[in-house]
Amino acid sequence: MELTATGALLAAHDVIRQPLGEILPRLSEVLEPLIPHRAAVELSTHCAHSPFKRSGGAELPFTAAELTPLLAAGVPGEPWQGPAWVGGAEREVVAVRSDATPRGSVLVLVREEGAEPAGTAELGLAQALWDLVTSHFDRFASEAVPDALARSRTAADTRARVTAELTTAHAAALSGLLGVLRSRALDDSAARATATDLAVSSLIELRAESQRDRSVAEEPALEAFARLSDVLRPMLRHSPVRLELGPPESVRTLPADVAHGTRAIVRALLLIVLEQEAVSRVHVGWTLTEHELRATVRDDGPGLLDSCPLGAGSVTDRLEVLGGRLELDAVPGWGTTLTATVPLATPDAPAAAMSPLTGLGEREVEVLTHLALGHRNRQIAQELHISESTVKFHVANILNKLGVGSRGEAAALFHKAA
């Protein structure tokens, strides 16, 4: 099937006029007659709110990690087709890379096995449409209204924290594996068996972590510390460093996010401490006061640790989220004590996160954006491809939701929020 120039322009217009969440499904529908496919997935690195999206193929376990190699290896402007690992298996795909944004984006159409290769004209149209869509997304990212921008930043911050936490968990598992492999007390057979058991246990722990945390709002302090102990012991099981544990002397419960976050912090601090030379003993303890949880990691090393390695990754990120602080006490020749103090109460959300535009719908925000630029109803209707009566309807709703009496007041609120 071929599209005329007029048909291609109409198709492009139809795609980008959709609400943001409907653009990929509509693009998939437009490309289906030209490049038959069972699913469409995208990785748009400029979009912090939801960089990975999918349309169709609900039964296939797509992940953003699978698309990353296609984004990195693809050549912008030159669609590629062939077998690739997506949806948990090797499948026939068409990958379209765009450099319309600095970090690029990739659209992947998943085809049936043995499908006929797409023609040059079809690939060219797919490339043009994806470049247009990517540019369209980039405009929304660069000109985001305050409420959408706040959501995007929150999503990006959460993603960064989760990534840091998973990185620490993986580092802890690898540290335990290295301890096994380096141990001179185990022969090859015992080392392999022990390493396998440790790897399996770590994998089960990682998979179960999210499920447990969703189902538990609070944890008894002793149980929370016991979970920490279960994570720390394998890290030092075959290490010459002796681990001493000091559980809290309290039967109180902790908020789940405090317990979970503190475990991640302690694990990260222990990894830092173990990088020092001449450490033979490490003590990890928790102390509960009325308002705080204090987690200490104390070693008998050279006492020369400074704050530099503590300022990156999950330690400061996690403490910032929990409203906590970190103290370092290093005494040359005697060792180092690291104390992470975490308040038990949830930190107040910043007032700046609340926007007067929060209650507006997506189309209402678009209309208000034009209002703030001084556009009249006819121009807004032309820009958004809707009728003037629809614009009037949206304007009335905007004034009502914002509690203002004129377009000028609404525009003033928009600029104040920006």
pLDDT of residue 349: 42
**Whole-number Å distance between alpha carbons of 372 and 401:** 16
3-state secondary structure 351-413: HHHCCCCCCCCHHHHHHHHHHHCCCCHHHHHHHHCCCHHHHHHHHHHHHHHHCCCCHHHHHHH
Helix H or strand E segment including 276: none
The tens digit of pLDDT for each residue in 86-101 reads: 888 899 999 999 988 7
Q: Which residues contact 312 (CB under 8 A, 6 or more apart)?
A: none
pLDDT band at residue 350 under the 50/70/90 scheme? very low
What mean pLDDT is reported for the chain? 80
Distance, first Cα to last Cα, the chain: 46
pTM score, two decimals? Answer: 0.41
DSSP symbols for 90-137: EEEEEEEEE-SSTT-EEEEEEEPTTPPPPPHHHHHHHHHHHHHHHHHH
* Residue 285 backbone phi and psi in degrees, to 5: -140, 155
**Whole-number Å distance between alpha carbons of 91 and 62:** 12
**Whole-number Å distance between alpha carbons of 191 and 187:** 6
Token pair recorded at residue 62:
């797509």
pLDDT band at residue 51 under the 50/70/90 scheme? confident
The tens digit of pLDDT for each residue in 226-241 reads: 999 998 988 888 888 9
Q: Give yes or no for residue 252 having a pLDDT over 50.
A: yes
* Residue 267 backbone phi and psi in degrees, to 5: -60, -40
Token pair recorded at residue 28:
């998939």
Determine the average pLDDT of the residues in 125-140: 83
pLDDT band at residue 347 under the 50/70/90 scheme? very low
Determine the average pLDDT of the residues in 13-31: 85
* Residue 33 backbone phi and psi in degrees, to 5: -65, -25
Determine the average pLDDT of the residues in 379-398: 86
pLDDT of residue 167: 66
What does each C-alpha distance from 79 to 88, 129, 286, 297 come to in angstroms?
22, 12, 56, 53
Which among 7-16, 190-199, 235-244, 299-308 has the top mean pLDDT?
A: 235-244
Instruction: Identify which has the larger pLDDT, 313 or 343.
Output: 343
Q: Dihedral angle at the C-alpha atoms of 24, 26, 31, 32, nearest 10 degrees?
A: 110
Q: CB of 53 within 8 A of CB of 144?
A: no
- pLDDT > 70 in the chain, percent: 79
Q: CB of 62 within 8 A of CB of 108?
A: no
Determine the average pLDDT of the residues in 146-162: 50
Q: Give yes or no for residue 339 having a pLDDT over 90.
A: yes
Instruction: Identify which has the larger pLDDT, 278 or 209.
Output: 278
Query: What sections of 183-220 are H helices per DSSP?
Result: 188-215
Lowest mean pLDDT among 120-134, 151-165, 362-376, 389-403: 151-165
Instruction: Identify which has the larger pLDDT, 64 or 231.
Output: 231
Instruction: Identify which has the larger pLDDT, 383 or 102.
Output: 383
Count CB atoms within 10 A of the CB of residue 78. Answer: 11
Task: Determine the distance from the C-alpha atom of residue 290 to the mean position of all C-alpha atoms in its chain, rounded to a whole number.
Answer: 34
Q: CB of 355 within 8 A of CB of 146?
A: yes
DSSP letter, residue 241: S
Q: In which residue are the tokens 């109460």 written?
A: 345
Q: Give yes or no for residue 77 having a pLDDT over 50.
A: yes
The tens digit of pLDDT for each residue in 275-332 reads: 888 899 999 999 998 889 999 999 999 988 876 666 555 577 678 777 888 888 888 8
Q: CB of 265 within 8 A of CB of 279?
A: no
Q: Give yes or no for residue 109 having a pLDDT over 50.
A: yes
- pLDDT > 90 in the chain, percent: 22
pLDDT of residue 3: 63
The tens digit of pLDDT for each residue in 166-181 reads: 666 677 777 777 777 7
Q: CB of 333 within 8 A of CB of 304?
A: no
**Whole-number Å distance between alpha carbons of 367 and 143:** 14
Token pair recorded at residue 109:
């159409």
pLDDT of residue 95: 94
**Whole-number Å distance between alpha carbons of 328 and 273:** 12
Residue whose C-alpha is closest to residue 275's, from 313, 320, 221, 247: 313
Lowest mean pLDDT among 134-138, 162-166, 198-202, 393-397: 162-166
pLDDT band at residue 204 under the 50/70/90 scheme? low
Q: Give yes or no for residue 48 having a pLDDT over 70.
A: no
Q: Which residues contact 246 (CB under 8 A, 6 or more apart)?
A: 283, 284, 285, 286, 296
pLDDT of residue 114: 81
Determine the average pLDDT of the residues in 43-54: 69
pLDDT band at residue 108 under the 50/70/90 scheme? very high
